[in-house]
Structure 1
């Protein structure tokens, strides 16, 4: 395939582009920032550029990972989020179905963040009696910031273009795979690695797994047609654990992984006192045929 990857200089793109190339695809990376995995420097907001790249490079598939992300809320105004996340997605979709286009599949990198309302975000401090169990059936969605609102709008554009034009589109709501710490409500002050290790229990995946999910989605898009998937490490928790997780998360983790405490103590690590949400990636396993290779068990194995 001739694949256009947007956001190719980003954390995901740096892993995804080489992986696609190794599998024999021709990959065109598009990003405003130059980089080793970017061949065209420019923005998805520039529709003429998008049109030219699709035509000149004979693009047959798209992976749209470019976006203004949550950390940009502090540095960019709302109109920038709308321009990149909404108009940029619309530009790609319209050019994908334009006369003469050879594009026959589209994978959109979305986010689990759009599923987190302010009520869920407040968690135990807001009076929640149990952790929120989050899967693709959650409705209505009430994103709490401009990032979530614009990503949800972009998802709806994807759904619409599948409906109107039968363009195969798969939406991947990825949980955290970026290297930076973000949510200080859960961060462990002493160690970013401690925070990330804990998050593999309920809201994280490795960037390698994120890239592999996109490769699988690209292969399955035409077969599935349209669908939305949470992509995250498989949680070891069950719905029955939700009440105890918000009250005493370490007790649940100790029951499931009795060895974790000794491994953590050797490094001066601690477990979150409370877990406010669990992402259920079961649908991706059942329908997409994708399961993350790295989870909390593998994290403990590396600590040994």
Structure 2
């Protein structure tokens, strides 16, 4: 990234840096999709982010973008989340508490998350796959 910044500053090259999270394919199923709340992104969304970067405003000379699923946790105070992970998740996803209580989901595994707001605003990029609870129960593809 420093070399890209240097090339932009010194030679006027356009360098757009994409920082994808943990990249998964479309076959990832619940409960592994819980990682979509923190750092995961589907490979097709990464490909769309690259296309958005190629097609973005030519006036962007150098910038960096986080590419992950859209996590509603980025709109929650981290101190509140770490104090009451179950409560925060239940407020976002009513019913998720049952999967936490039976051990299917472990919110302690969520230790970080990212905002994609900059990519959304500047590139017009929005991931198509984000975390959601399965409608029919554990094991449903989400």
* TM-score, scaled to structure 1: 0.40
CA contact (8 A) 1:247 1:274 kept: no
In 2, the alpha carbon distance for the partners of 1:201 and 1:165 equals 38
| Count of residue pairs brought into register by the alignment | 135
The corresponding residue for 1:222 is 58
User: Cα 1:225–1:300, aligned 2, differ >3 Å: closer, same or farther?
Assistant: farther
The corresponding residue for 2:70 is 234
3-state SS, counterpart of residue 171 of structure 1: strand
Q: Choose which of 106, 116, 138 in structure 2 pairs with 1:271.
A: 106
Cα shift readout 1:102-159 (whole Å, capped 9, x = no counterpart): xxxxxxxxxxxxxxxxxxxxxxxxxxxxxxxxxxxxxxxxxxxxxxxxxxxxx00001
CA contact (8 A) 1:175 1:204 kept: yes
In 2, the alpha carbon distance for the partners of 1:194 and 1:157 equals 39
1:170 Cα deviation after fit: 0.3
3-state SS, counterpart of residue 66 of structure 2: strand
In 2, the alpha carbon distance for the partners of 1:170 and 1:161 equals 11
1:259 Cα deviation after fit: 3.0
CA contact (8 A) 2:66 2:114 kept: yes
3-state SS, counterpart of residue 292 of structure 1: coil
Greater gyration radius: 1
1:258 Cα deviation after fit: 0.5
Q: Choose which of 12, 16, 20 in structure 2 pairs with 1:170.
A: 16
1:246 Cα deviation after fit: 1.9
Cα shift readout 1:257-298 (whole Å, capped 9, x = no counterpart): 103345x48x9621322532220111000111101111113x
Q: Choose which of 239, 259, 284 in structure 1 pairs with 2:95.
A: 259
In 1, the alpha carbon distance for the partners of 2:54 and 2:13 equals 13
1:207 Cα deviation after fit: 0.7
The corresponding residue for 1:291 is 126
Higher RCO, 1 or 2 (CA under 8 Å, sep at least 6)? 2
In 1, the alpha carbon distance for the partners of 2:134 and 2:117 equals 22
Q: Counterparts in 2 of 1:106-125, with a 5 A limit?
A: none
Counterpart check, 1:160 vs 2:1: no
1:160 Cα deviation after fit: 0.6
Unaligned runs of 5+ in 1: 1-154, 180-191
User: Cα 1:195–1:241, aligned 2, differ >3 Å: closer, same or farther?
Assistant: farther
In 2, the alpha carbon distance for the partners of 1:300 and 1:224 equals 39
User: Cα 1:225–1:239, aligned 2, differ >3 Å: closer, same or farther?
Assistant: same
The corresponding residue for 1:68 is none
Unaligned runs of 5+ in 2: none
The corresponding residue for 2:85 is 249
Q: Counterparts in 2 of 1:134-213, with a 5 A limit?
A: 155-178=1-24, 193-194=29-30, 196-213=32-49
